Structure 1
Amino acid sequence: MEVTDNDAITIRSLIEHQLAAFKKDDGEGAFAFASPGIQAQFGTPENFMQMVKIGYPTVYRPRSVFFEKITAIQGNITQQVLLLSPNGVPLRALYFMEKQPDNTWKINGCFLVSIEGKEI
């Protein structure tokens, strides 16, 4: 699948809006950016937020965010984002994106990868 410049702008905006929702503890807002499959997996915005708080503290409260290039990983359109964790550890978030039947984009998962480096 080819990603247009418009798609790239939309994907970045979607992730930025979800991060902003996490920052405000807006579970419903954050949950709305998740794909139908993710929504079905967690069922409610509260369950989703609890999972993010516990399992993804760097995504829940990043100290800084830097968007890298969009790539394809195993056929999945993936937005790479460098995040600085609350305690200063840099991580790369791989946001798996899913294009919906109505041509909108949703976040279909996030995988964190450690980056070699020292705490800042």
Structure 2
Amino acid sequence: MRIAALLVAITVIFSSISACAGDVTAAQGVIRAQEQAFARDDAAGAYSHAAPAIRELFPAPDTFMSMVQNGYPPVYRHKSFEFGDSKTEGSSVLQRVNIVDANGEAWEALYTLEQQPDGSYKITGCSLLKVGREA
């Protein structure tokens, strides 16, 4: 009986871990797709990965793209864009991204994504911190 209970516990733990890993993989796919849309200057493609709350703030793809170009230049144009640590919290994923901008400066981005009713993930926010700068 104890072995059966242990097997059930292990199965639950591993299914939870793989679900989290699947969520992180899906979220990283969304971030990467948006990054590639920025590289192509594809405003509609980049905008399609924004969560509804972001779309309310920026009701058109061109205004969204302008905000990113002006407010998030390391996200818009960079030399490197590599995933760092991630964390899942309920239906949210927090994903760190290490960025080297077009000028060779290092940045850390923290993306937040929320799972939508259809199961997809959308980006709810991105904060940038220049590496080496005091908070």
Normalization by structure 2: what TM-score? 0.79
Determine which of 10, 23, 28 is the counterpart of 2:39.
Answer: 23
CA distance in 2, matches of 1:72, 1:14: 15
1:113 paired to 2:129: yes
Correspondences of 1:1-120 after superposition (within 5 Å): 4-71=20-87, 77-116=93-132
Runs of 4+ deviating beyond 2 Å: none
Count residues with an aligned counterpart.
115
CA distance in 2, matches of 1:113, 1:47: 23
Which residue identity does 1:44 align to in structure 2? A
Deviation at 1:71, TM superposition (A): 2.3
CA distance in 1, matches of 2:78, 2:92: 24
Q: Secondary structure at the match of 1:50?
A: helix
Deviations 1:25-59 (A, max 9, x none): 00000000000010111000000000001111100
Q: Which has the higher helix share?
A: 2
Deviation at 1:101, TM superposition (A): 1.3
Deviations 1:74-113 (A, max 9, x none): x953100000011111000000111111221000010001
Gaps of 5+ in 1: none
Instruction: Mark the CA change 1:33 to 1:99 in structure 2 (over 3 Å): closer, same or farther.
Output: same
Aligned residues of 2:95 and 2:112 also touching (Cα < 8 A): yes
Gaps of 5+ in 2: 1-16
Which residue identity does 1:45 align to in structure 2? P
Identity in percent:
37
Larger Rg: 2
Normalization by structure 1: what TM-score? 0.89
CA RMSD for the aligned pairs? 1.9
